[in-house]
A and B are shown apart, each in its own frame.
Chain A
């Protein structure tokens, strides 16, 4: 659906050159929700704006729906843009137009007859649940309602692709959830491919199928959300994941645990089906070892279970070794250094 091939974008600020995007290759498939996460300045916003040519790449090719968009004329670029909906962190609604007027705007641009515009606007208003706000002006709406208008406006011309620029970053947690559910509905019911950028890992966790992590203009990691969450290879990725799931107790708690005679602490990671199998209990019983769960969680990620437990074992030294080696056949086990803090 969207394919970045060795894309770079350099900005000239005075005499300085800034590599906002550096040799990025990514492929976003039809029908998926693809998230790009990164800290501010990672280049994700620039990358997003390359999709509808709000920015032009310095080098590389972008293919949207099979077309190399670098070769389009100005008129074709405008056509491309009307086929890609876009929503923004600050909503960017027209303050001089009503809610209905905002949603009607892209339809007017496309030259849709007035009667059809009215029908389509009503349809969209009910899709986003704002039928009673048609005549209100944006300034009278709450943040969540504004973003709903933004979404309705972006969907007006029935695009196949929706790109979201930090669409929930200006919203409170409740409203964020509300908007994320709406985006999921857009994806599921209308089959629209969504490309979003965010700095919030829970957005990725909640709605994305696949994720790319960006840092300094480069994609440092890209995989399914499940794989990235359960097996992050890059430090930055691990930091993002820790922002939504604390995977170790605080240093004070660990210190207390150590003082009470705790020595070896192991992280046991269960993925998918194995999470519902009593493997820990089975193996420890076999070697007559007791298991003590110090910390951890089992959660759902993309409809799969994912368990992350910190445990210690009590029993004979050699039995514990046997437990560890047998456990390693089914799940990921690694020792955690307590004084890591």
Chain B
């Protein structure tokens, strides 16, 4: 069966828009949540500025529970929660919710890893100057880790494009949905090829933006 390209192109444009929306929204919400969790995880570590064993252990366990679950299973598993929050489990916004949850925990680890690599002497210096823990978080930890953090977020963005394709297969819309319905269920290789090319281009753009930004911040 041949695809009618005149009706198909608008469909592709619309789906690309959905994919971009899913990725950007997830990135925004996931970053807010993930950076918060990552910072909490870092500052509550033993010997750190807001050392708290209980908070650290709970967060650590939570991350370790959520992260290993394959996204496509996670997507289905939390669908009751998705319905309660978004009102539906179908469509772009219904995909953004599970993507955000999954992404935040990934981002939390990325943030934590980047913060750990900050020289502890710099934190000590800020402390010695009389900075409060909150001040240290916003004026030392975040600025010092920003360059690598952006590279980490870029890495996450690329995997979000991957997530969005998976979300598409279970009713999330976007390029993934197109690729599955036309390419997989109707065996049309040319559609598959088009979506794959668009996905590759999206990844390239995301990586380029990330590299440029981080280079600007790290001045190299």
Contact = CB atoms under 8 A, between A and B. Distances in A.
B21 to A, nearest CB: 32
A137 B143 CA distance: 14
B4 to A, nearest CB: 54
B121 A137 contact: no
B124 A92 contact: yes
Interface stretch (B24-32, B126-134, B205-213): B126-134
B124 A81 contact: no
Given A81-B129, A82-B129, A109-B129, A88 B121 contact: yes
B216 interface: no
Interface string B191-220: 000000000000000000000000001010
A92 B120 CA distance: 9
Contact of A109 (B135, B146, B219): B135
Contacts of A108: 139
B129 A92 contact: no
A108 B128 CA distance: 14
Contacts of B128: 52, 54, 81, 84, 86
Contacts of A191: none
B128 to A, nearest CB: 4
Nearest to B125: A92
Nearest to B135: A109
B130 A81 contact: yes
Interface in B106-141: 119, 121-122, 124-132, 135, 139-140
B141 to A, nearest CB: 10
A82 B131 CA distance: 9
Tell which of B122, B128, B143, B144 has the most Cβ of chain A within 10 Å. B128
A95 B126 CA distance: 13
A71 interface: no
Summarize B's interface: helix, strand, loop or mixed: helix
Nearest to A82: B130
A95 B124 CA distance: 14
A90 B119 contact: yes
A105 interface: yes
Contacts of A188: none
A105 B130 contact: no
A263 interface: no
A106 interface: yes
Contacts of B135: 109
Nearest to B131: A109
Given A94-B140, A96-B144, A106 B119 contact: no
A78 B130 contact: yes
A79 interface: yes
Contacts of A84: 128
Contact of B129 (A97, A106, A137): A106
Contact of A92 (B121, B139, B146, B217): B121
Interface string A68-97: 000000000011111010101010111111
A137 B219 CA distance: 9
Contacts of A109: 129-131, 135
Contacts of B132: 78
Contacts of B143: 94, 96-97
Contacts of A81: 127-130
Contacts of A82: 129-130
Given A97-B143, A105-B139, A109-B135, A92 B122 contact: yes
Contact of B122 (A54, A78, A94, A106): A94
Nearest to B217: A96
B149 to A, nearest CB: 11
A95 B125 contact: no
Interface in A146-187: 153, 157
Given A94-B144, A96-B146, A137-B219, A54 B130 contact: no
A323 to B, nearest CB: 57
Given A90-B119, A94-B140, A54 B124 contact: yes
Given A92-B119, A92-B125, A95-B144, 10 more contacts: A54-B128, A78-B131, A81-B127, A81-B128, A86-B125, A92-B121, A94-B125, A94-B126, A94-B144, A109-B135
23 contacts: A52-B128, A54-B127, A78-B131, A81-B127, A81-B129, A82-B129, A86-B129, A90-B119, A92-B119, A92-B121, A92-B124, A93-B122, A93-B125, A94-B122, A94-B140, A94-B144, A96-B144, A97-B143, A105-B126, A105-B139, A109-B131, A110-B130, A137-B219
Interface of B: 119, 121-122, 124-132, 135, 139-140, 143-144, 146, 217, 219
Interface of A: 52, 54, 78-82, 84, 86, 88, 90, 92-97, 105-106, 108-110, 137, 153, 157
